[in-house]
Amino acid sequence: MKNEFALAFNEVLEERQLPKEIIMEALESALITAYQKSVNASKEQHIEAKIDPETGKVMIFAEKEVVEDVQNPTTEVSLDDARRVDPEAELGGMAIVESTPDNFGRVAAQTARQVIQQRIREAEHKAQMDFYNQQLGEIVSGIVQAVNAQGLTIGLEMRAEGTMPRKELIPRERFRTHDRVRALIAEVKDTPRGPQIILSRTHKDFLRRLLENEVPEIFHGIVEIRSISREPGERAKVAVSANQSGIDPVGACVGIRGVRIQAIVRELHDEKIDVIEWSPDAAVFIAKAISPARVVGVYLDETSENGRTATVVVPEDQLSLAIGRDGQNARLAAKLTSWRIDIKSLSEALGDTLHKLEQDAKYAKIAESEKDNIQNMETLLARRAEGRPLTPEEFDAISKFVDRVERQVTGRVQHKEKEIVDQASQELRSTIPVALFEQNLLDSSLPEHVSNILQEAGYTTTGDLVLQMKKHPDEILKLQGMGPKSMEKIMELVASIEAQAAPVEQKVDELKPAEEVVTEPSAVETVVAKPVEDEVIQIEEPVHAESTMEDTIPTSEISTASGEQPEKVEEDVAFEDLFKLKPDMVETFAPPEEVEEEEEGDLAKSKKGKKGKKGHSVEVVYDDERDMILRKKKHKRGGDVWDWEAD
């Protein structure tokens, strides 16, 4: 028969729902605290507590100093007693010996009671925190323990309590004490008094989890919930799609005769639920989201100032149904599709279209082609404004006219946007080497499984992959089976390709000017020394700014005034000296003082007799900025200052 300790221990385990090790650890810690208080031991002293689970006997072991004469039994032990426990114990050493006081069980029960309760409570709170953190976003069931003005207090598993504020309750929903409630764990907070668990029945994920529980196809991933918009207690819209062919996603959610969806409606206090099939085409998806109203046409405008806007045209008798009570249907459809929705009746849409054809410039060509139909539509609109009825055929003509005009404008905008995207794509493509578009992706350095995933997605060459990484790398990451490590491999491949392409482009840029330098003698004008009467001697060369005179004007092409060629330069002359102008090539003129001293020479005579001008000199120089040779005159303005001017 089990003893009282074992029975009490098992009872605590069952009540607290905690592991055996945690309870045992809490008991031992409490016994150590009780021993320290009973013998007034230091907290620095090493103390161990052992509990026999079969008999419940408590034993305390304390570390004490080995001495010959024991003065303080709390911290000292004799050598004989120490060697009973440790045969190798020596004087002055430390030994761990049994130190259980007499009647310690009764004393420990009184002293350690609060400590045991505190430790068990802390362990319980930690276990609750870990458990409900894992349950975050899931549905739990509990019993209403209290109802007050702030909300409900609900008892949950593991002796935990959840709180459901009034705002998380469905409107007009009433609960009483001891009622069973299902709710979503919306938030878990750690507080000194334990975990605070916030429950919700108005969260849209509560509807998502209910659908997963009721519809096996959703639970197993055959049908996927794309988006949910909900106004608790009133109406909700759910967009679903099938991941396998041959599956009707709406029918799977509704069930035979609506049995599946009706179970969810009852749980949500008769909240109406519209299940809609999701479509990748935004116009089709928006038209279905407006249900149960019938839609004539949906026209998208992604360039609107107010964001993405969809204009939905409905028949006259469907306008109120499409908008819903207080705009509820349109509001839920906008949340479901993430588009701003503008709902118009057919006559209102016709009036707006006629106004655009008359005022908007981008409708000018369409207005010219629809000139005859515009007059017809204006007549029908005037009849409608007067309250006169229109035939179904006339309503059909109006809807076709509005649809035709809006689609022409939308088509032109989309075509223009496509041209811009194609141009940008072509510019990116030009930055990628052409050889990469001929290289099979399997021949790259990517792992085989990554290459297979990319090829299945349509990226057959390395160039296609690099182009997509430059445009939208997120599209690669979205592929099934593509993870962070695979993306790192792809980014390393792209980086290595760019690093290899960079030196080649730099080398081409460096060689390009040298290839364009004109080296043919016929391309360079010769310099001929003209008589002094000529005002300017200059050479305009058809060369690039990067080239210099030394690169383009050979000395052999510079002639003197007499037409004689200069002597041929020796081969051992320095390269820079080959292109310097020499005095015998171009004659220069001395300052006025030197001219007066020279009584002989044709240059001095001609200088004095030129148009009565007085002392000035001429020098031929090379202008770096203008890249030409100029003849400059030097005038004396007064004193010893000389002013240089270029003709």
Three state DSSP letters for 371-389: HHHHHHHHHHHHHHHCCCC
- Is the CB of residue 214 less than 8 Å from the CB of residue 198? no
Shared-domain flag, residues 33 and 8? yes
Inform me whether the pLDDT recorded for 425 exceeds 80. Answer: no
- Return the pLDDT at 545: 39
272 secondary structure, DSSP code = E
In this structure, what CATH number is given to the domain that contains residue 143?
Answer: 2.40.50.140
Instruction: Indicate whether 637 pLDDT > 70.
Output: no
Q: Tell me the two tokens of residue 429.
A: 């493509």
More confident residue, 514 or 379: 379
Q: Quick one: pLDDT at residue 416?
A: 54
Mean pLDDT taken over the chain: 76
Q: Is there a contact between 635 and 643 (Cβ–Cβ < 8 Å)?
A: yes
Whether 196 is in a domain gets the answer yes
Query: Cis (ω within 30 of 0) for the bond into 521?
Result: no
Question: 372 falls in which pLDDT band (50, 70, 90)?
Answer: confident
- Asked, for residue 83, whether it belongs to a domain, the answer is yes
Q: Name the percent of the chain lying above pLDDT 70.
A: 72
Residue at token pair 């050979």: 554
95 and 53 in a single domain? The answer is yes
One domain, residues 640 and 568 = yes
The CATH number of the domain holding residue 439 is 1.10.150
Three-state SS at 173: coil
**Cβ within 8 Å of residue 379, ≥6 positions away:** none
Q: Which of 498, 516, 534 is the last residue of a domain?
A: 516
Each residue's pLDDT tens digit, 117-172: 777 788 888 888 999 999 999 999 999 999 998 899 999 988 889 999 999 999 98
The pLDDT value recorded for residue 342 is 92
Q: What is the mean pLDDT of the segment spanning 370-385?
A: 83
More confidently predicted of 239 and 387: 239
Considering the domain architecture, whether residues 97 and 160 belong to the same structural domain is answered as no
pLDDT for the residue 219: 92
Rounded to whole angstroms, how far apart are CA atoms 446 and 92?
Answer: 69
| Residue where one domain finishes, among candidates 467, 493, 516 | 516
Percent of the chain with pLDDT over 90: 26
Choose one of 95, 119, 143: the last residue of a domain.
119
DSSP secondary structure letter of residue 354: H
Q: Could you tell me the CATH number of the domain that includes residue 62?
A: 3.30.1480.10
* 607 lies in some domain: yes
* Whether residue 571 is found in the same domain as residue 611: yes
404/435 same-domain check: no
Answer whether residue 218 is part of any domain. Answer: no
First to last CA, the chain: 128
- Sign of dihedral through CA atoms 297, 302, 303, 306? positive
Average pLDDT on 346-356 reads: 86
Asked whether the predicted pLDDT for residue 434 surpasses 50, the reply is yes
Sign of dihedral through CA atoms 393, 399, 402, 407?
Answer: negative
Does residue 367 register a pLDDT over 90? no
The number of distinct structural domains making up the chain is: 5
Q: Is residue 245 part of a domain?
A: no
Q: Is residue 546 a contact partner of residue 515, using CB atoms and an 8 Å limit? A: no
pLDDT of the residue at 455: 80
Provide the pLDDT for residue 569.
42
Does pTM surpass 0.75?
A: no
> pLDDT class for 612, splitting at 50, 70, 90?
very low
Residue 597 has pLDDT above 90, yes or no: no
Whether 225 is in a domain gets the answer no
**Do 407 and 292 lie in a common domain?**
yes
Going by C-alpha positions, the residue among 295, 187, 288, 190 that lies closest to residue 241 is 288
- Mean pLDDT confidence for 91-110: 75
What's the rounded mean pLDDT across residues 395-403? 86
**Residue 425 Cα distances to 49, 145, 416, 497, angstroms:** 75, 64, 14, 18
CA 128 – CA 584 distance, rounded (Å)? 106
Is 86 found in the same domain as 10?
A: yes
Flag whether pLDDT at 589 surpasses 60.
no
Tell whether 90 and 170 lie within a shared domain. no
pLDDT computed for residue 551 by the predictor: 43
Structure tokens given for 308: 């993405």
**Mean pLDDT for the stretch of residues 583-600:** 45
* pLDDT for 605: 44
- Beta-carbon neighbour count of residue 101 at 10 Å? 13
- Model confidence band, residue 508 (pLDDT cutoffs 50, 70, 90): very low
pLDDT of residue 573 exceeding 70: no
Instruction: Take residue 559 and report the two structure tokens written for it.
Output: 């002639």
The answer on 399 and 299 residing in a single domain is yes
Q: In the numeric block, which tokens belong to residue 529? A: 């020394």
pLDDT at 155: 93
**Single-letter code of the amino acid located at 107:** V
Query: What pLDDT, in 10s, does the model give residues 159-201?
Result: 889 999 999 999 988 999 999 999 999 999 988 888 999 999 9
Task: Give 37-73 pLDDT, tens digit per residue.
Answer: 878 888 888 888 887 777 777 788 888 888 888 888 8
| pLDDT tens per residue across span 13-23 | 777 767 777 77
Selected residue with higher pLDDT from 212 and 462: 212
Is residue 385 located within the same domain as residue 460?
no
Look at residue 419 in the predicted model and tell me its pLDDT.
56
* CATH for 291: 3.30.300.20
User: Is the pLDDT score of 598 beyond 80?
Assistant: no
Question: Would you say residue 226 lies in a domain?
Answer: no
- Give residue 340's domain range: 286-411
Whether residue 191 is found in the same domain as residue 294 = no
How far apart, in whole angstroms, are the C-alpha atoms of residue 349 and residue 391? 18
pLDDT of 553 above 50: no
With respect to residue 510, please indicate whether it lies within any of the assigned structural domains.
yes
> Can you give the pLDDT at residue 489?
83
